[in-house]
C-alpha cells in the first residue's frame, strides 16, 4: 500500500481524502450512475465507482437497512482474489471458514437405511489460486464493501427504503435517464422522488423492476424440486460436521452440510418433496421443524439435535436467463444494465450466485468509469452484456446438471435408472467442475477488450481472456516477497507487465512507452501521474540483489505527485522458491508483455518488441488526451 505521496497524512491510509459532493440523507437529483439494489452485485459496483472522486454515484435499496444474516455464504477463490483488489481479502480470510476438503456419503452397502462415507477429496486443486474457497456470511461481505464505499472520496452510502417504480429515457438530455422512486420510511407517508442519471444499473434481484422497465425477461424452467436451507447451532455425532459434506441417502433425499465461520455454526441444504407442475413451494407451508425432521431422516445412524435456528428459507430449483444484460437496440450504445440475479437465477448449492453476481459488477464497473472519465468511447459498454451473458449461460448449464445429479437417488444394487446417480460419478463430476466453481474458468472471447492469441506461446500460463493467474515475486527496491496479482488494484487502471528476457534488457520497451507517441503518453491527461491510466511494471529473471535500481529506465521509477517523488514499487524479480517464469510458462529467452485489464483479465500477450501491436490495442479502447 502506498500513501503520503502528496504530503504526510495521519490516520488510516484506507480513508481517501474527500472529493466532490459529500453524501446526503436525500438522494441527489442528478448522478452519473444510479444503482438499484444493495446485493452483492450492487455493492461491488458501488465500491468500484466509489474510488473515483470525479464520478457521482447513488445506490438505492427497498430494504430498511443493511443485510444482517442469511442468504449466500460461499465465496469462490476468484472472488477472494477480487477482494484483494478492493483491499479487504485479509478481513475475509480471518473471519471465514476455509473449505479445504469435501466428503461424500452414500447408503451403506450392508445397511442401506444408514449412510457411510464413500470419498474424501481436496476441495480445490493444488495451484489453482493463492486464495482458498471460503464460507462467510453475505452480510459480512456487504459490510466490507460498505466500508470501501464510506472510505472513498465521495463517502458513498446507500439510500434505503426506496423502491424502484419506473424509468424513462430521453437521449437528447444531458442526463438521459429519469428514475421514479417511492420512499417509505417507517411511520411516514409514501412519497415519490425523481433521480436523473447518465447510466442505471439494475442489481435488484430476480424480480427486477429495472429489467422489466427495459423489456427484458428471465426465460427458463423450474425443476419442480423443493429444497430447504438452514443456518443452525446443533449437537451431532456426525463425524464430518466440520467438513463440507455431500450426503445421499437411499430413500430420504440428500443433504449438503456447509460448516460456517466461527467454529460452531452449520448450514444445511435439505432436499424436500417434488413439486407438481402447477405447484409452488410457497403453497406447501413448510416450517423449520419440518426441515429439521427431514434432515434427521437422511442422517441415520447419526443424530442431529438442533439447539437454535439462526435463519432458514425454502426455495424451488430453477434456471432462468436473460438474452441480454442491457437495453441496447439497433446499434445504439447501452444506458441501462442489469447484473446478478436480475439477469440469471439458479440453485444455490454450488455456491455460485453471489460470486457470479460480483463478477458481473466487476466487469461493468471499470467500463462505466472509463466512459464517464472520458478515457474510453461508449462502444466499450457493449462488451459487458456480450461477456457476462455468455458466462451466465455456462452457469445455467452447469447448475442444471449439478442440481439434477444432486437430487437424484444414489444407485444401489437393483436401483439403477434415469433418476439415479452413481455416487462415484457424482464425486468425479464435482472434481471435474472444480475450476468452474472456483471462478477461475471464465474465458472471454476475442473482442474490443480481448485480443487474439497469436503470441500466447510466450506465456502459456497467462491465458488471453482469462483472469491473471498470480504468482510470487520479490519487489526489488525493498526485497519484499509478495504476489504479483496483488498489485493489480480495483482502481480502473490498465497494466502492462513486462517480463524481461534472459538478458534483462527492457530499455527499448521503456524508450518506446516513454516517447511522445506511445499509448501511455497519449492517454495520460496533462498534469496527471504517468501511471494514472496505464501502469507499467517489470519482472526480471535475475535475483533481486542483482538488479541495479540505479540503472533502471526512468519509466520504471516514475516521478509522481506534487513533490515529484519516485515510485520504487514497479520492479520485481522472480522468487527462486516459486519462479513465476517457470510457473506460468513464460519464454525465458524472449520474455514477453502481458497486458491486463482493470478487472484483472488478460487482454493480450505480446513480444517485448511488438510496439505497433501495443499501440493498436490501446488505440481501440482508450481515447488520447494529447
Percent of the chain's residues with pLDDT above 70 = 96
All 3 cell numbers of residue 166? 419506473
254 CB burial (10 A radius; 0-12, 13-18, 19+): buried
Sign of CA dihedral 194, 195, 199, 204: negative
- SS3 string, 20-60, reads CCCCCCCCCCEEEEEEECCCHHHHHHHHHHCCCCCCCEEEE
Residue ranges of E strands in 509-597: 534-540, 559-560, 565-566, 571-574, 592-596
- Phi and psi at 274, nearest 5°, equal -65, 150
Q: Where are the domains of the chain?
A: 30-89+136-218+322-392, 98-130+220-318, 456-621
Q: Rounded distance, CA 518 to CA 497, Å?
A: 16
Q: According to the model, what pLDDT value does residue 414 have?
A: 61
Classify strands 409-410 and 420-421 as parallel, antiparallel or unpaired.
Answer: parallel
160 catalytic, yes or no? no
Residue 507 Cα distances to 183, 454, 572, 609, 615, angstroms: 60, 24, 15, 11, 17
98-130+220-318 fold: D-Amino Acid Oxidase; Chain A, domain 2 (3.30.9)
429 catalytic, yes or no? no
Q: Rounded distance, CA 77 to CA 82, Å?
A: 9
CB atoms inside a 10 Å sphere around CB 246: 22
Q: According to the model, what pLDDT value does residue 315 have?
A: 84
Q: Which of 78, 216, 260, 409 is catalytic?
A: 260
586 CB burial (10 A radius; 0-12, 13-18, 19+): buried
| Residues 74-93: tens digit of each pLDDT | 999 999 999 999 999 999 99
269 catalytic, yes or no? yes
CB atoms inside a 10 Å sphere around CB 9: 12
Q: According to the model, what pLDDT value does residue 19 have?
A: 86
CATH superfamily of 30-89+136-218+322-392: FAD/NAD(P)-binding domain (3.50.50.60)
Which candidate, 402, 11, 34, places its Cα nearest to that of 193?
34
Which candidate, 198, 181, 191, places its Cα nearest to that of 30?
198
91 CB burial (10 A radius; 0-12, 13-18, 19+): middle
Q: Rounded distance, CA 340 to CA 356, Å?
A: 7
Q: Which helix (H) or strand (E) holds 195?
A: strand 191-202
Q: Which of 32, 40, 61, 73 is catalytic?
A: 73
Taking 60 as the threshold, does the pLDDT of residue 282 lie above it?
yes
Q: Rounded distance, CA 485 to CA 82, Å?
A: 10
Q: What is the DSSP string of 319-332?
A: EEE-S-SB---TTP
Q: Which of 348, 410, 519, 553 is catalytic?
A: 348
Lowest mean pLDDT among 10-24, 109-123, 412-426, 548-562: 412-426
What single DSSP character describes residue 450? Answer: B
- Phi and psi at 306, nearest 5°, equal -75, 120
Q: According to the model, what pLDDT value does residue 350 have?
A: 65
Sign of CA dihedral 17, 20, 25, 31: negative
Lowest mean pLDDT among 292-296, 410-414, 518-522, 547-551: 410-414
CB atoms inside a 10 Å sphere around CB 443: 16
**b/e burial code for range 190-203 (CB count within 10 A of at least 16 → b):** eeebebbbbbbbbb
123 catalytic, yes or no? no
Count of helices and strands (H, E) across the chain:
14, 28
CATH superfamily of 456-621: Phenol hydroxylase, C-terminal dimerisation domain (3.40.30.20)
- Taking residues 124-145, report their average pLDDT: 97
Structural contact between residues 498 and 570, judged by C-beta atoms closer than 8 angstroms? no
| Residues 213-253: tens digit of each pLDDT | 999 999 998 766 788 999 999 999 999 999 999 999 999 99
| Residues 431-483: tens digit of each pLDDT | 888 899 999 999 999 999 999 989 999 999 999 999 999 999 999 999 999 99
Structural contact between residues 76 and 177, judged by C-beta atoms closer than 8 angstroms? no
CB atoms inside a 10 Å sphere around CB 368: 28
Lowest mean pLDDT among 142-156, 187-201, 232-246, 407-421: 407-421
Q: Which of 269, 384, 512, 601 is catalytic?
A: 269
Residue ranges of E strands in 63-187: 74-75, 97-98, 101-107, 115-122, 134-135, 162-169, 177-183
- Note whether 30-89+136-218+322-392 and 456-621 share their fold: no
| Predicted TM-score of the model (pTM) | 0.95
Cβ partners under 8 Å of residue 154, min gap 6 = 18, 19, 20, 21, 22, 23, 50, 53, 55, 56, 57
Q: According to the model, what pLDDT value does residue 421 have?
A: 81
Amino acid at each position: 500500500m502506498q500513501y503520503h505521496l502528496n504530503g504526510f497524512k495521519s490516520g488510516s491510509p484506507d480513508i481517501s481524502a474527500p472529493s466532490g459532493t459529500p453524501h446526503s440523507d436525500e438522494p441527489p437529483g442528478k448522478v452519473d450512475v444510479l444503482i438499484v439494489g444493495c446485493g452483492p452485485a450492487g455493492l461491488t459496483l458501488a465500491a468500484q465507482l466509489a474510488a473515483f472522486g470525479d464520478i457521482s454515484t447513488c445506490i438505492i435499496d427497498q430494504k430498511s437497512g443493511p443485510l444482517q444474516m442469511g442468504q449466500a455464504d460461499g465465496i469462490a477463490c476468484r472472488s477472494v482474489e477480487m477482494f484483494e483488489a478492493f483491499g479487504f481479502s485479509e478481513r475475509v480470510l480471518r473471519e471465514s471458514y476455509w473449505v479445504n476438503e469435501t466428503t461424500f456419503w452414500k447408503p451403506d452397502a450392508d445397511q442401506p437405511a444408514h449412510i457411510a462415507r464413500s470419498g474424501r477429496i481436496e476441495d480445490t486443486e493444488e495451484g489453482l489460486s493463492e486464495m482458498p474457497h471460503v464460507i462467510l456470511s453475505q452480510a459480512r461481505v456487504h459490510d466490507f464493501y460498505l466500508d470501501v464505499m464510506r472510505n472513498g472520496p465521495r463517502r458513498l452510502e446507500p439510500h434505503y427504503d426506496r423502491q424502484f417504480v419506473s424509468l424513462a429515457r430521453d437521449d437528447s438530455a444531458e442526463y438521459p435517464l429519469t428514475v421514479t422512486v417511492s420512499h417509505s420510511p417507517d411511520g411516514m407517508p409514501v412519497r415519490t422522488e425523481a433521480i436523473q442519471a447518465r447510466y442505471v444499473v439494475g442489481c435488484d434481484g430476480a424480480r427486477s423492476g429495472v429489467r422489466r422497465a427495459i423489456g427484458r425477461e428471465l426465460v427458463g424452467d423450474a425443476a419442480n424440486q423443493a429444497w430447504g436451507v438452514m443456518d443452525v447451532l446443533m449437537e451431532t455425532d456426525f463425524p464430518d460436521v466440520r467438513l463440507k459434506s455431500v450426503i445421499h441417502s437411499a430413500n430420504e433425499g440428500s443433504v449438503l452440510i456447509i460448516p460456517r465461520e466461527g467454529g460452531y455454526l452449520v448450514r444445511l441444504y435439505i432436499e424436500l418433496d417434488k413439486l407438481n407442475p402447477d405447484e409452488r413451494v410457497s403453497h406447501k407451508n413448510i416450517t423449520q421443524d419440518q426441515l429439521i425432521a427431514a434432515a434427521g431422516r437422511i442422517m441415520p445412524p447419526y443424530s442431529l439435535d438442533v439447539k437454535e435456528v439462526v435463519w432458514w428459507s425454502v426455495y424451488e430449483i430453477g434456471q432462468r436467463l436473460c438474452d441480454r444484460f442491457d437495453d441496447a437496440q439497433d446499434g445504439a450504445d447501452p444506458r441501462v444494465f442489469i447484473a446478478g440475479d436480475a439477469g440469471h437465477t439458479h440453485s444455490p448449492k454450488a455456491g455460485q450466485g453471489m460470486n457470479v453476481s460480483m463478477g458481473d459488477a466487476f466487469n461493468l464497473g471499470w467500463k462505466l468509469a472509463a466512459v464517464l472519465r472520458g478515457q474510453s468511447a461508449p462502444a466499450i459498454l457493449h462488451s459487458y452484456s456480450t461477456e457476462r451473458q455468455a458466462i451466465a449461460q455456462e452457469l445455467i448449464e452447469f447448475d442444471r446438471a449439478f442440481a439434477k445429479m444432486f437430487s437424484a437417488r444414489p444407485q444401489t444394487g437393483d436401483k439403477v435408472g434415469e433418476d439415479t446417480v452413481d455416487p462415484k460419478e457424482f464425486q468425479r463430476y464435482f472434481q471435474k467442475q472444480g475450476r468452474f466453481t472456483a471462478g477461475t474458468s471464465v474465458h472471454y472471447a476475442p473482442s474490443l477488450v480481448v485480443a487474439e492469441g497469436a503470441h500466447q506461446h510466450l506465456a502459456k500460463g497467462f491465458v488471453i481472456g482469462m483472469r491473471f493467474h498470480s504468482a510470487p515475486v520479490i519487489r526489488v527496491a525493498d526485497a519484499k516477497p509478495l504476489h504479483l496479482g496483488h498489485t493489480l488494484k480495483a482502481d480502473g487502471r490498465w497494466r502492462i507487465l513486462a517480463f524481461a528476457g534472459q538478458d534483462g534488457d527492457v530499455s527499448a520497451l521503456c524508450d518506446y512507452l516513454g516517447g511522445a507517441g506511445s499509448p501511455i503518453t497519449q492517454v495520460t491527461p496533462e498534469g496527471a501521474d504517468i501511471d494514472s491510466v496505464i501502469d507499467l511494471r517489470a519482472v526480471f529473471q535475475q535475483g533481486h540483489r542483482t538488479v541495479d535500481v540505479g540503472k533502471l529506465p526512468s519509466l520504471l521509477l516514475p516521478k509522481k505527485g506534487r513533490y515529484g517523488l519516485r515510485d520504487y514499487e514497479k520492479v520485481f524479480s522472480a522468487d527462486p522458491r516459486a519462479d513465476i517464469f517457470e510457473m506460468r510458462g513464460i519464454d525465458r529467452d524472449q520474455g514477453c508483455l502481458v497486458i491486463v485489464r482493470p478487472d484483472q483479465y488478460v487482454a493480450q500477450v505480446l513480444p517485448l518488441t511488438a510496439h505497433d501491436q501495443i499501440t493498436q490495442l490501446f488505440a481501440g479502447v482508450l481515447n488520447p488526451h494529447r
